[in-house]
Amino acid sequence: MSKSSTITVREKPVERVASANAGGLTIYGETFVVETDQRVEVIDLTGRVMEFVRRFNISEGLVSLWSMHTTCTLFINEYQVALLADIKRFLEQMVARDAEYMHNDPKLSDCDRMNADSHLRAMLFGHNLTLQISGGEVVLGQWQRVLMAELDGPRARSLRVQIFGIS
């Protein structure tokens, strides 16, 4: 039984910036980095995503936000200090940091981060969001914020944003 994880290898790494245009359709993508400070931390990316969309002259379309990591996730919720504390406590209750996990056992796993809890918690959130663009802006409700959950920080996290639409 292998102790290693499978590595994903593209023929070429993802370019930091890439675009294509055809028949009135524009696709534009870029990678950006978010530095986190804590092991578990929720960061509000809404302003950044809204600015990204406004930079392009896309009136109708989609914007995809993708975390390049397994233990860093993306989701929608309200952003309030009290609620964030509830979310952290909920994660600890659902998936204990210190339970016995095979992924954390050096006899079974070559991962030295001891982060099985992070992997399990990540499954509850998901790693990407595909949002609508309309009228040149992201479609979001009044209380909806685009949030990133760092689940095994602190680290530098790469996210990729891709816009897809018609001017």
Size of the site for a copy of itself (CB under 8 A): 91
Q: What 3-state DSSP class applies to 121? A: helix
Least Å from the CB of residue 81 to a copy of itself: 5
Please identify, using beta-carbon distances, which residue of 52 and 66 lies nearer to a copy of itself: 66
Interaction pattern, residues 124-163, with a copy of itself; x per rule: CB under 8 A: xxxxxxxxx-xx-xxxxxxxxx------------x-x-x-
Least Å from the CB of residue 1 to a copy of itself: 5
Least Å from the CB of residue 119 to a copy of itself: 6
Q: Is 11 in the site for a copy of itself (CB under 8 A)?
A: yes
Please identify, using beta-carbon distances, which residue of 37 and 57 lies nearer to a copy of itself: 57
List of residues 6+ apart from 166 with CB closer than 8 A: 24, 25, 26, 58, 59, 60, 61
Residues 34 and 36: their CA atoms lie apart, in Å, by 6
Residue bearing tokens 């995503």: 49
**Residues 41 and 150 sit within 8 Å (Cβ to Cβ):** yes
The footprint of a copy of itself on residues 65-104 (CB under 8 A) is 66-70, 75-83, 85-87, 90, 94-95, 101-103
Residues 117 and 137: their CA atoms lie apart, in Å, by 36
Please identify, using beta-carbon distances, which residue of 39 and 44 lies nearer to a copy of itself: 44
Q: Is 33 in the site for a copy of itself (CB under 8 A)?
A: no
Region of residue 24 (left: phi > 0; alpha: psi -120 to 50; beta: else): left
Least Å from the CB of residue 86 to a copy of itself: 5
Q: Is 62 in the site for a copy of itself (CB under 8 A)?
A: yes
Closest listed residue to residue 95, CA positions, set 109, 115, 75, 68 = 115
